Each structure stands twice: as structure tokens, then as C-alpha cells.
Amino acid sequence: MSLKPICLINPVSPFLLDERVFMSLGILKIAAVLERSGRPVEFLDLSGIVNYEDALIDYLANTDCTIFGLTATTPQFPSVVRILNVIRDRIKGAKVILGGPHVTLVNAAYKREITKGTEGRGLKSFTQLIDLFDVVVAGDGEEAIFHALDPFAPKVIDADDSKSPLWLSNSKFDDSPFPARHLIDVDSYRYFINNERALSLIAQLGCPYNCGFCGGRDSSAFRRIRQRSSENIVEEIVHLHHEYGVKGFMMYDDELNVNPKIIEFLNLASDAQREIGVEFQMRGFIKSNLFTNEQAEALYRAGFRWILVGFESGSPKILKNINKRATRDENTRCMEIANRHGLKVKALMSVGHPGESEETIKATRDWLVEVKPDDFDVTIITTYPGSPYFDHAVPHPTEKKVWVYTYGGDNLYSVELDYAAVPDYYKGDPEGGYKSYVYTDYLSAEDLVNLRNKMEKDVRNQLNIPFNPSSPAIRYEHSMGQSGPLPDNILRTAVGSWNNRTLNPKPRAGLRGG
């Protein structure tokens, strides 16, 4: 008896200036493991579709699927709820599974409250999830998805536990198939590094640091590092080059240089380019206080021309309050090392931390002008579920729906949000479209927006760094209201044909696979 297909849906991200930049690799990884097991998969890629509900309605009128799997970051959650409602309205008895970062972060916040014997925002957000969806999956989904598909699956599948058999260990990570990029229209994603078309990949999972604003600090899946072998990472890079003709690669790991084998990986990447006779253009994230001249030299040799660094602030006080574990001097040294080795730097900065004031924002502005990064952005922080700013906050003693996080005597106040309804706390239009749902002892939410905007314009003028233009959203068009096959850039189908194909194609030119 043939299995019915499962539909995996990549939701929209309307809060981004351009959605068709980086494809969602997590849900494509789930598609890959399902295909390997022989399970038919239909993949609906709604990213960048401005009228995505129309596309979804037409798809649902022409599919036999009754099981749907979605992923969601916290900013995507409002759109995911709308997708859920459309499915419920049109497919009676549909089973809808939700996984991804939002579930994992909310589950971590909820578990912390249970451990502490308290009831707060974590419980409220967790209850919302289990009320809406048939099954929610926290943590690694590669093995958990098969448990979620069971007709008798529990409401919550918690794979966010290093002791769980569902945990993605280093060896499982290395043996897992590459993301099923063939299920999306790869050519419709537009990202370039030094004028070379580029694709993204993830070589390792997790970050061991404990920055106050960062989600997942109480989540094993986000906190515990899992790493693929250097050979396996290079194998994927070479595969992407041969399969899609790209020479650019964005490494989307949290911090490349928390990997103790970073030099080994970079040397293998350099060797691969020599063997196949091509020069790659690469880009990735670096932890400033771990950065060395040896790393910089190896990065450049491997094809890195850009690095991205989360400096966050130019104020020593704020760096301490963030628990960044990197000083202003170490950040300056990182810039000097990068400049010495010809690496361009995009500085990732943020405002709205405990103790943030007009003086600390000016210190950030002054530091940027002093060190002269090649590009930068400045965001207003959000208290995500799973972050210390969210998880460790307590109710305001007098203000309703306001929470207070305290560090070293400095307070951060955050307005309680319904994450199913409000997406616009995430970044925004850099030319004035930001909103703030936080404030400090010294600055109101309005002050933070105004000072952020002023700093952005001032630094860009001082350093002559233009705003990056955005690309228009895609509009799904159906013919005269007649339901029919969706365009190839929205829907692709795989029928579990892994028996006749190689999961991880071995690189050519004599390179040994991992």
C-alpha cells in the first residue's frame, strides 16, 4: 500500500525586506530524511509570496495531503497561524504539525518555569501552541518527525534533550542527508557574495555563550554544539557547486570559530578549490574574542572575503550587561585582524539592552566611526522566548503586561506580546520603519527608535555606506480564479525515490567524502 504524501510548508516572512535570500534549510532537512525513508513529500514554498493565502487555497484544492508540517521562527508565527486556519477551513480532519525555533524556544521557557515552580509567559505561549496544533516538536526534528506522524502521537514531542534518543548527535548529524534543495526553486533565491551567486549551508548547530538577548540559552538544541566533520562540510560545498553552479557560500553557523577544527575545515576547503580548479567566495559569522591571525589567514585562503561579527555595542557597560564575554578592546582587535588580512567586516549592532542610555548609544556610534566596518546594521532588541531577557524577567510591580529583566541594577522593560498576532518587533525597514516593544530606565521605546534611526543615518553618512535596496515580493497569479497546478517556484513534489539516488553525492576530482 502506497503512503500518502505529507505536505511540508515553508511560511512567509513578511517582516524581512527580501524573503528570497536564504532558503529555510531546517524544513528542507526534514524533507530529506522523509524522502530517504521512502515517504512522499510535497513541498510548498510560500516565501516571498505576497498573497500566500491564495496560493495555499489553490494548492489545497488539488492535493490529497491530509498531514501538514510547518516550521516557524517567532516572527513567522502570525503568518503560520493564518496558514493553519486556512488548512483547517478546507481540509477536514487535517493533522498539522509545527516544529522549528519558536516551538523549541517556547518549550524551553515553559520547562524552566516548571522547574522553578512559577507560571509566566512561557506557560502562556506553550498553552497557545498545544491548543492550536495537533502535534508540536521541540528541538531536533530529523527523527522526531517520524514520531509526530504516528496516528497516536502525543501533543508534544520533546527532542530538545541531549539524553533523548531523538537528539541529533555529531555522528547522526554527519550521517544525515543534505537539505532537499531540489524541492524548491533554487534559482528564485537571490544572494551574492562579491558578485558571485551564493547558497547557504549550516556546518554546526548551537552556541555555548549566554548573551542575555539571545534565544535558546536554556535550550539544549540551541546551546549545545553539534558539529559535522570537516570532510562532510566540504562535501556539501562541492556538491552545491556541481549541482547548482554556484561559487559563493554563506556559512550560517552561529559562530564559525567556536569549532576547534576550523583551521582543518578551511584547509580542506582550500584543497577542494585547487582540485576542481575554482575559486569560491565565502562568508560567515565570527566570535570576536576568539578571532586570531591564523584564523583570518586561513579564512582568506579558503575564499572568505566577508565576515559578520555580532559586536552588539560600543559601550563597555552594555557589553557587560549583555553578558557578551567580549570587551570593546577585543572587538577593536578583531577589526584590526580582519583589516590586516583583507577581510571585510559587517558589524552587527543592537540597542535596547539593560542600562541603555543616550550615552551608551553614542558610544556605539563613536566606536563604529572609529573602527570603520565595511557594512553594519543596528537593530532594536526583542525579548524572545528562550532568551534570558524573556525567561528571567518578572512581572512589573505596577504596570500591567510589562515584564522586567534586571542585570547589575539596570532594568529592561518589555511589553507582553501575543506572538500569534504581532510580527513587527523583528528588525524593520532601516530607513525608519522600526518599532520598539522594550524600554530602559533611561530611554522610552520612542527614544530607542529615534536614537537608533539617528545613529544609523549618521554612521552611514560618516562612513559612506549606502542602504542596501530590497527586492519586491513575488505575487502568486492564478488564471481567472481557476484552480490548477501551482508554479514550479511554489510547489514541488518528491515521491520517495531515494533508493535510486545517492543521499550525499561524493565530490568529484578525487576528494574523499566524509
pLDDT (0 to 100) of residue 389: 93
Which helix or strand (DSSP H or E) is residue 222 part of? Answer: helix 220-223
The three three-digit cell numbers of residue 82, written as one number: 493564518
Would you say 166 and 143 are in contact if contact means Cβ atoms under 8 Å apart?
yes
Is beta strand 402-407 parallel, antiparallel or unpaired with respect to 394-395?
antiparallel
The three three-digit cell numbers of residue 80, written as one number: 503560520
Distances 66 to 29, 82, 100, 180 between C-alpha atoms, Å: 21, 17, 20, 21
Cα distance between residue 202 and residue 113, in whole Å? 31
Cα distance between residue 110 and residue 122, in whole Å? 4
Q: Residue 373: which region, alpha, beta or left (left: phi > 0; alpha: psi -120 to 50)?
A: beta
Cα distance between residue 147 and residue 143, in whole Å? 7
The closest alpha carbon to 126, from 429, 508, 386, belongs to 386
pLDDT (0 to 100) of residue 2: 67
Averages of pLDDT over runs of 10 residues in the chain (514 residues) are 86 77 92 96 92 94 95 92 97 96 93 86 92 97 97 96 94 96 92 93 90 85 92 97 96 91 97 96 96 98 96 97 95 98 96 97 98 95 86 93 95 88 53 80 96 95 82 47 52 45 26 25
150-159: long-range contacts (C-beta < 8 A, 24 or more apart)?
Answer: 155/130, 156/107, 156/130, 158/107, 159/221
CATH 3.60.15.10 holds for 6-169: no
Enter the pTM of the model: 0.87
pLDDT (0 to 100) of residue 419: 72
The three three-digit cell numbers of residue 398, written as one number: 505596577
The string of DSSP codes covering 224-255 is S-EE--HHHHHHHHHHHHHHH---EEEE--S-
Cα distance between residue 497 and residue 441, in whole Å? 59
pLDDT (0 to 100) of residue 367: 98
Placement of cell 498553552 in the chain? 127
Would you say 204 and 259 are in contact if contact means Cβ atoms under 8 Å apart?
yes
Adjacent-strand bridge partners of 199: 249
Distances 355 to 51, 198, 212, 217, 317 between C-alpha atoms, Å: 41, 39, 13, 21, 8
State the architecture of 191-463 in CATH terms: Alpha-Beta Horseshoe (3.80)
Cα distance between residue 37 and residue 487, in whole Å? 27
- CA angle at 365 for the pair 363 and 367, rounded to the nearest 5°: 70
Half-sphere exposure of 42 (CA within 13 A, CB side): 22
The three three-digit cell numbers of residue 423, written as one number: 510580527
Phi, psi of 154 (to 5 degrees): -70, 165
pLDDT (0 to 100) of residue 486: 59
pLDDT (0 to 100) of residue 391: 87
Distances 75 to 215, 394, 424 between C-alpha atoms, Å: 13, 23, 8
Would you say 196 and 190 are in contact if contact means Cβ atoms under 8 Å apart?
no
Q: Domain extents for the chain?
A: 6-169, 191-463
pLDDT (0 to 100) of residue 440: 98
Adjacent-strand bridge partners of 402: 415
Q: What is the pLDDT of residues 158-207, one digit of tens each?
A: 999 999 999 999 999 999 999 999 999 999 898 999 999 999 999 999 88
CA dihedral 54, 129, 65, 477 (to 10 degrees): 10
The string of DSSP codes covering 130-150 is HHH-SEEEEE--TTHHHHHTS
Per CATH, 6-169 and 191-463 having the same topology is answered no
E runs forming strands in 155-221:
156-159, 192-193, 196-201, 204-205
